[in-house]
Amino acid sequence: MNARERITRLEALADERDPTRKHLLALGIVSDRMREDGVEPVLVGGGAVEFYTAGGYTTKDIALALPHGPQTDAAFAELGFTKEGRYWYREDLDLLFEAPAPAGLPGETAPRTEVEIEDLRVVILGVEDLIIDRPRAWIDGSSDEDGRWARRLTLLYADRLDWDYLRDKTRPFEAEAQAVRRLEEEANE
């Protein structure tokens, strides 16, 4: 897709009423542009939870795992986004990207889910890593809400989760390993 087509498709999102669909389409357009520079953005954080819960969870920002640098800046600027700190926004479209997302979020090497939406490819952090990420905030006491979403994701995807992966990734961290064991027990009840 060329630059003009991207802008046209992006601007058409002003009429999109479904926030999850709008976020995925915007990400697909941004990803299409970034792939020209060999960069593959990965949707992480609340945006990934929003995807896996089909909009049951909502977020205002679209957090991406991707390298920081002039290529990222150029891609967002070309698409009409304005930068403020680590955020890129298009106020006219009510779109806010966090790019790159804060360090420490999985995404660069973790399992991923790829989806196609209106001939656009979007890459999303695997559900297992979201389940691992949510209990971190839940365990340290900063967010009971994250514990609820970890449970919801576990119950929604219990039949397809890679429990060996979850156990292996959390084994070095006792509190996280205990949280995953509790989630597995709840999923098997």
- Residue 42 DSSP label: E
Find, among 32, 106, 102, 33, the residue nearest to 61 by Cα.
102
| Euclidean distance between the first and the last CA atom of the chain, given in angstroms as a whole number | 48
Q: Is 184 exposed, middle or buried (0-12, 13-18, 19+ CB in 10 A)?
A: middle
List pLDDT tens digits, range 105-134. 555 567 889 999 999 999 999 999 888 877
List pLDDT tens digits, range 26-38. 999 999 999 999 8
List pLDDT tens digits, range 5-58. 999 999 999 999 999 999 999 999 999 999 999 888 999 988 999 999 988 888
Domains of the chain by residue range: 3-125, 128-188
**What's the CATH code, domain 3-125?**
3.30.460
List pLDDT tens digits, range 163-183. 999 999 899 988 889 888 988
pTM of the predicted model as reported, rounded to 2 decimal places: 0.87
